[in-house]
Amino acid sequence: MTRRLLSVVVVVLLARAVGCQCGGEDPPPPPPSDDRLVLGPATPIGAATIGVGVVETDAGLQVEVPAGAFDGDVPFTITAQDVVSHDFGDLLHPVTPLYTVDNGGVLADDVLLVTIPVARVEGRFAVAFLWDADDERFEGLPLVEVSDTAVVVATRHFSSFLVTDIDVARLVAGADSGFTHGVDNFPFVNRGAFGAPDGHCAGQSQ
């Protein structure tokens, strides 16, 4: 009797489950993400194995590898992910996908130039940032050139990065670092150093 009752319960539960799936109702939405940067799926856009030359991609992104940067050929794979959402505020305004360049973690002996296609918007300034997914923070990339069609940055190692832009008016409005001259100065006598034996002309701070 107990087995028969258990069988009936199982059949009823399965029928309800199937009925819920086939009833035409939309499935419940996924739970909200805790990630600070929510990304779409990764799409391969380029791959090459080179020691000198340019890695081309379908998206127009280029990685220029100069002579002497590596001891031999290095495999490169590049992917792109759309930025779905983020919680870094309005100062982060992505104008490109998040690109990931994977070269096996090989550190270059010379600077590599990365050209990132970006359509320049009048009155806005574009800059590239590395994305550290483990610590969920951004780090600025050295900017080499900004044109109407691209941003060029320099690096010796790769991870994930994107380009964001900001209203130029917000940049020139000034910022307060919290440093107060005469209060936050380095608390030691400015005795200089080997290269500046008479003292550091710009002062010292910590």
Output the average pLDDT for the chain: 81
**Cα distance between residue 64 and residue 155, in whole Å:** 10
CATH fold of 37-172 reads Chondroitinase Ac; Chain A, domain 3 (2.60.220)
pTM for this entry? 0.69
- Across the range 41-45, mean pLDDT stands at 96
Sign of the torsion formed by the C-alpha atoms of 17, 22, 24 and 30 = positive
- Across the range 33-52, mean pLDDT stands at 89
Query: Can you give the pLDDT at residue 146?
Result: 92
- Across the range 22-46, mean pLDDT stands at 68
Give me the residue label for tokens 């691209």: 150
First to last CA, the chain: 80
Boundaries of every domain in the chain: 37-172
Give me the residue label for tokens 């490109």: 96
